[in-house]
Structure 1
Amino acid sequence: MVSLATHHVMQANKSKDTKPELKVRRALREAGLPGYRLHWKKASGKPDICYPGRKVAIFVNGCFWHRCPHCDLPLPKSNVEFWEAKFRRNRERDERDHLLLLQDGWTVVVVWECRLGRDRFEGTMRQVVREVERAGDGSRSGGRLVEAGAPEPWKLVTYHERLRRIRR
């Protein structure tokens, strides 16, 4: 059971129009890529930014709530069992939503909050813009997962590779 204070703190966290999400949206508009949908209900997981015609879903993930693989964030010290379960459910939900989109042939772009800092922002957004443009030129088919701003130049995982990893 969560304390009333913790409940209110969690309730106060925004799920839409966060600073990282606004930064990504502004950069997409500046790159000449307006016309996206926000939290489009027809796409699995209601992606933060969605280009239905191009079949691109962009998830802007907060490092704390989605447990960023790049940040070694510690668990909260109190009520550890609750937080472990909460974070596990978040990761499972993200995984499920990504797989459903990949099965339908979407390009899923995950942007981590830490990859939008001053020193990484431009490189990360170049990758995001390139993915949106590639999806629109018709040269790509099938589901793809892209982690924008990953340490590797391109971290691409096809739908089948992702399924193999999950089944292990």
Structure 2
Amino acid sequence: MTPPGDDNRGNFDPLVAEGSEPAFESWAVSPERRRNMQANRSRDTKPELRVRQRLHARGLRYRVAVRPEPTLPRRADIVFTRQRVVVFIDGCFWHGCPEHGRTSFSRNETYWNPKILRTKERDQEVDGLLTSAGWTVLRFWEHDDVDAVVSAVEVAVRGVSSDGRVT
């Protein structure tokens, strides 16, 4: 039998344990919502995996979820270190997509609106820092066409389009 608060993977959640005070106040509406939010991946998302699979099939090799600059506390989804190209595949919800992102929330609006705004500001900040450090920054939305994303990345990395034209 699994003790309360243990998820069978060695992760202990103080907010779930019976008979104990939480280590901190959670922003989540409920313990169920908190578990749901904790399950969201920061890497290896489906859109990211689709892009990586196609890039690999085209013979491109890259690093995954690494800091392009050691002093930068942010990780890029895909990094071509020799060519100094970084690729971010942003989720519509988390990064405030103008097409699919939410503009209003029924719960915790005072939490979500500033959070998403800060994420958008941080994205711009990171883009500026990487660009000034000599990196080519490519950002795509999770809903963008995978073939179009892969073609754009290939042009940035190889300097040649898939039909052989030098860019």
TM over 0.5: yes
2:65 to 36, 39, 52: 39
In structure 1, what is the equivalent of residue 86 of structure 2?
Answer: 57
In structure 2, what is the equivalent of residue 124 of structure 1?
Answer: 149
What is the aligned-residue RMSD (CA, Å)? 2.1
In structure 1, what is the equivalent of residue 45 of structure 2?
Answer: 18
- State the 1:42 CA deviation: 4.4
Unaligned runs of 5+ in 2: 1-26, 161-165
SS at match of 2:76: coil
Per the alignment, do residues 72 and 48 of structure 1 end up closer, same or farther by CA in structure 2, a change over 3 Å counting? closer
- State the 1:21 CA deviation: 0.7
Verify: 1:133 aligned to 2:158, yes or no. yes
CA distance in 1 between partners of 2:54 and 2:32 (Å): 36
- Percentage identity across paired residues of the two chains: 35
CA distance in 1 between partners of 2:127 and 2:115 (Å): 18
**Greater relative contact order (Cα 8 A, min sep 6): structure 1 or 2?**
1
Residue correspondences, number = 132
- State the 1:91 CA deviation: 1.2
Unaligned runs of 5+ in 1: 141-168
- State the 1:57 CA deviation: 0.5
In structure 2, what is the equivalent of residue 166 of structure 1?
Answer: none
1:82 to 99, 106, 111: 111
Q: Specify the code of the residue in structure 2 equivalent to 1:40.
A: V
SS at match of 1:39: strand
Spell out, residue by residue over 1:40-84, the C-alpha distance to the aligned partner (whole angstroms, 9 max, x if none). Answer: 134332101001111101001111111113335343311111110
CA distance in 2 between partners of 1:114 and 1:57 (Å): 19
Task: With the length of structure 1 as denominator, give the TM-score of the two structures.
Answer: 0.70
The answer to whether the 8 Å contact 2:50/2:146 transfers is no
